[in-house]
Amino acid sequence: MAWSRHGIVMHPPRVDGWAVSHAAVPFLRTAPEGDTELFFSSRDDQGRTSIGRVALEFSSAPSLAAAEPTPVLHPGVLGAFDDNGVTGACLVAHEGREYLYYSGWALGRTVPFVLAVGLAISDDGGRTFERVSAGPVIGRTMAEPFLAGAPWVMVEEGHWRMWYTSGARWEPTPAGPRHYYRIAYAESSDGIDWRPTGRICVDFKDEEEFALARPCVVRDAGGYRMWFSCRGSDYRIGYAESDDGLVWSRRDDYGGLGPMGDGWESQAVAYSFVFDYEGTRWMLYNGNGYGATGIGLARWEGVE
């Protein structure tokens, strides 16, 4: 196995009013003073997600403080693209500001939900975040008429790059409408005004696969590496490599992760966040139920 599993590091918190279940889509923020915060998304008693955070001491035995009592970001105003929930995706620090990108959820009638990409910015060192708009930074367009979400953003020499989930279609099934989405690419000069390129970076590998989501991109000496959630018969974590961040080759068997055992990750693994700490590569990820069983940790053991 390329990854060794270290079990659950965070169980879903219970915070009155906004966190009743789930701890989903983890990612980290490292403050200038060296403190580390774990961001996550939890659901209230109506199933609406908010973005929370908790202080993390990362070591051979990571430890967490209690979750902050108020969310970093809560659902948007009635009728907005994110009025039924906000799910965090990534955080970018750039020129003294912090950019929190997220998926905004709205309910549909003919389909269960609609997703769009939102942005909130902090000008006070990451303590508070304010939406840049009541509307999304990437939503449904003539070129992408179904949905957009789960953004991952990097800034390279002033050039902003985003990999995100892009809806391909919905199809009727006996169990209801099924979403089909894959990973697309967009660019920006300022992190706010985005230009979807129409490029699909990672597509379905076979007829069974129908959902590719939550890309996480790392650039190192070997090039660009992407971990992403892929769903067919189950939800698992796929892996791809690229020289330029545009043309990708999947190597799921080399760098991916699948369900295992009969416990918290027996049915699914998804929503990976990969990071390096003191010369070692780690992954935070979710197991069964889209984060219902909490957040787990794995360590990279593979070799090139």
Q: So where are the chain's domains?
A: 90-300
Q: What is the pTM of this model?
A: 0.96
Give the CA radius of gyration of the chain: 18
Strand partners, 167: 181
Contact 208, 232 (CB under 8 A): yes
Strand partners, 65: none
304 residues of the chain, pLDDT tens digit each = 689 999 999 999 999 889 999 999 999 998 777 789 999 999 999 999 999 999 998 876 788 888 899 999 999 999 999 999 999 999 999 999 999 999 999 999 999 999 999 999 999 999 999 999 999 999 999 889 999 999 999 999 999 999 999 999 999 999 999 999 999 999 999 999 999 999 999 999 999 999 999 999 999 999 999 999 999 989 999 999 999 999 999 999 999 999 999 999 999 999 999 999 888 999 999 999 999 999 999 999 976 5
Q: What is the pLDDT of residue 239?
A: 97
pLDDT tens by residue, 232-263: 989 999 999 999 999 999 999 999 999 999 99
Q: What is the pLDDT of residue 240?
A: 98
Contact 205, 179 (CB under 8 A): no
Q: What is the pLDDT of residue 1?
A: 61
Cβ-in-10-Å burial (0-12, 13-18, 19+) of 267 comes to: middle
What whole-number distance in Å separates Cα of residue 171 and Cα of residue 177? 5
Q: What is the pLDDT of residue 233?
A: 87
Q: What is the pLDDT of residue 262?
A: 93
Contact 287, 6 (CB under 8 A): no
Contact 73, 129 (CB under 8 A): yes
Angle at 166 between CA 94 and CA 282, to 5 degrees: 55
Nearest of 110, 230, 255 to residue 178 by alpha carbon: 110
Q: What is the pLDDT of residue 3?
A: 95
Block residue for tokens 């076979």: 206
Q: What is the pLDDT of residue 59?
A: 73
Q: Looking at domain 90-300, which CATH architecture does it have?
A: 5 Propeller (2.115)
What whole-number distance in Å separates Cα of residue 23 and Cα of residue 11? 7
Q: What is the pLDDT of residue 276?
A: 92
Strand partners, 28: 38
Structure letter (DSSP) for residue 268: B
Contact 284, 265 (CB under 8 A): no
Nearest of 122, 116, 114, 108 to residue 150 by alpha carbon: 116
